[in-house]
Chains A and B, each alone.
Chain A
Amino acid sequence: MELRAYIVRRLLLLIPVLVGVILIIFALLQFFSPVQRAALYVRSPQQFRNLDQIIEKYHLNEPVYVQFFYWISEVLKGNLGWSKSVNMPVSDALLRFLPATLELLIFTVPLTIFIGIKLGITSAIHRDKPVDHVTRGLAIAGYSLPAFWLGLMLLMIFYGFFTGLFPPGRLGLDAEMVVSSASFQNYTYIHTIDGILNLRLDVVLDALRHLVLPVTTLTVINLAFIMRIMRSSMLETLNKDYIMMARAKGLDEKTVINKHARRNALIPAVTVSGYLVASLMAGAVLTETVFNYKGLGWWSVNAAVQLDVPAVLGFVLFIGTVIVITNLIVDLLYAKIDPRIRLG
């Protein structure tokens, strides 16, 4: 059946890409002396002392392909090396900081997509009318705003001027106390969800208050991306014959737009949302640094500044895998929506 072949082919295509990402990271490693690379294989602080012993163990001064083999076997075992910026193995650090970034994305992704599509459609319907120029102008402005500067400005207004309305960071002091207290059950480490599960509304509210600014920053930055694609695909769809036919069938404008035009216009938007996740990740790095929202992005920046190479490379590998998987999911979604692909 065509769809099954399509899925399997997409899965097979996944492997070379992942290998590619790993190769890039390995290539970057070659910039460093064996000593620095040894830090990759350290599991605990005391191991730092007998570095040369580690160099022999992982043949760090042998030809490249041998090192690659050992390095890969380590990576597959989950040992991405030791991050000196947070004094814990890279894999554990990844797990510790992931929930924060996830929480950020849970709110940003739906918001960006929903508003992006809505704006795209409205500005396409009212092409070249004031609404169109305004929305397009705003979207382009959003796209041109440097994420970190927008973050600083928002902080200046909502944290400085309105003194503490929407604070940076992840949780206020008292909420922090509650979360770290024994009674609080941390299922997912995503505070909004844990708060709900533990029925602690105050924690949820506090987490939300901290989320408002970073989420707005990320959304505004990536809005133009979705909106522009939506607008041009909507414009194209509106000129198609079947839209003309839908009107000739006597359907009212709302049904023509929502039922016939929107679904066809969504297809290109879906294919592109794979890139949205990538640009959100990039945006998150900057936003988390500005709001020192202790997520993956914040951690990667700290590691980069302190030249903590294993951490940065572990982060890049993780992000690469996440994005490749989301692209796969987006492809499958695309096949599901468009019957022409599904039935081959």
Chain B
Amino acid sequence: MIATLLFLAVVFSAILCLPVLVIRGRVEKISGGTGEKTGRWENFKANLRPQIKELKFSLKRLRKSPLSIAGITIITFFAIIAVLAPVLAPPADPNRPYNIPRDGFSQTPKPPNENHPFGTTEGQFDIYYGVIWGTRTAFTVGLMVVGASILVGIVLGALSGYFGGIIDEIIMRVTDVFFAVPALILAMAFVTAMGPGLDSVMKALILVWWPVYARLIRGEVLQAKQETYVEAARAMGASNFRIITRHVLPNTIFSVLVMASLDLGAVVLTAAGLSFIGLGAPLGYADWGQMISFSRNWIVGPPGQPFLYWYTVLIPGLFIFFFVLGWSLLGDAVRDILDPKLRRK
């Protein structure tokens, strides 16, 4: 598990600092870095000032639109839960924190009481513990899949968009194939083949999700390629690699970020779907999808009180809903702000 956390941190930082790195001309800095010590530092600070001004402008706009405020607050709320999970719900067995503690084996869910603040599910899994650690699973799955898909998508998308010709034709036909079958169904097939379990779900989702980014980036690269400043760079004698990294990607990276935030929600949804069907996490693993599947036959209470077992259905469901809602709101708001046409209006 520590390995996944480490990998998680690397992927997360890759996504975040990739644009900053590329924009600020870090690459150029290294190549031109001989100047004496102090020169480099002012240079670094001086280079950063306009970018900060630019960022401030976007943040000012972000604060204005109501959708993005809601989005950001929800995401920060979940991030805090994910980080503080060991504190909020101390794991019984430290090196297997994702297993929900069971309090007996009876099949009827018990309502919320003092040592199970959110009650227990069918099979007495503590909902509170499961939901808290479920947040961490959601982040892991979401970031891993989106991160990996972005990396694969950028490479293939940039290649097929920039060079066109046969490469473009092949990569595009492969993405068409993946688009021909919906993500959930293809993932289902992969998981059946590779056997259930969270790792195979993640592998399946990465396999299924990269075409989305390959096609998005290819479109953006095709568009950026026609811009005059790319032809001007060619006129200067810039190499293809330099053009892609310094001109094409910095102008397309932002739409990838928008897609990433929207997709993070979609990935978590699909993963939860798979767990709901029973193909995702093993029994007792802290995963929202699985917790909802426990509540399947308890949605209709006995004749008298229809909502007797409301907690087994409602609580995990709300967690998924708000998690995905947060990312979608943020993605939608950021898209409006970053859209060059609307940006200056």
Contact = CB atoms under 8 A, between A and B. Distances in A.
A touches B (Cβ under 8 A): yes
Interface in A154-205: 155-156, 159-161, 163
Nearest to A296: B185
A156 B306 contact: yes
A232 to B, nearest CB: 8
A281 interface: yes
B193 A143 contact: no
B174 interface: yes
Interface stretch (B15-23, B112-120, B318-326): B318-326
B296 interface: yes
Contact of A28 (B189, B272, B300, B310): B189
A143 B67 CA distance: 15
Contact of A282 (B184, B190, B307): B184
A282 to B, nearest CB: 4
A286 B296 CA distance: 13
A24 B292 CA distance: 31
A316 B181 contact: yes
A236 B299 CA distance: 45
A300 B317 contact: no
B273 A286 contact: yes
A323 B181 contact: yes
B325 A152 contact: no
Q: Chain A's interface: helix, strand, loop or mixed, by majority?
A: helix
Nearest to B300: A160
Contact of A133 (B67, B277, B299): B67
Given A146-B321, A312-B189, A152 B299 contact: yes
Given A160-B306, A281-B182, A140 B328 contact: yes
A323 B180 contact: yes
A79 interface: no
Contact of A152 (B181, B313, B327): B313
Interface string B276-288: 1111000000000
Contacts of B174: 20
A156 B321 contact: no
A16 B174 CA distance: 9
Contacts of B179: 275, 278, 323
A312 to B, nearest CB: 5
A210 interface: no
Given A20-B174, A305-B278, A324-B180, A136 B192 contact: no
Given A20-B176, A140-B332, A144-B328, A319 B185 contact: yes
Nearest to B302: A160
Interface of B: 66-67, 173-174, 176-177, 179-186, 188-194, 265, 269-270, 272-273, 276-279, 289, 292, 295-296, 299-301, 303, 306-307, 310, 313-314, 316-317, 320-322, 324-325, 327-329, 332, 341
25 contacts: A13-B173, A17-B173, A24-B177, A28-B193, A140-B325, A143-B265, A143-B324, A143-B328, A146-B292, A146-B321, A148-B273, A148-B292, A152-B292, A152-B295, A160-B307, A224-B328, A282-B183, A282-B273, A285-B277, A304-B189, A309-B193, A312-B188, A315-B185, A319-B181, A323-B181
Given A136-B67, A163-B306, 13 more contacts: A29-B193, A133-B67, A144-B324, A144-B325, A149-B316, A156-B300, A160-B299, A278-B179, A279-B182, A305-B279, A309-B192, A312-B188, A320-B181
9 nearest A-B pairs in the assembled complex, by CB-CB distance: A20-B177, A282-B182, A144-B324, A160-B306, A149-B317, A160-B300, A144-B325, A282-B184, A28-B193
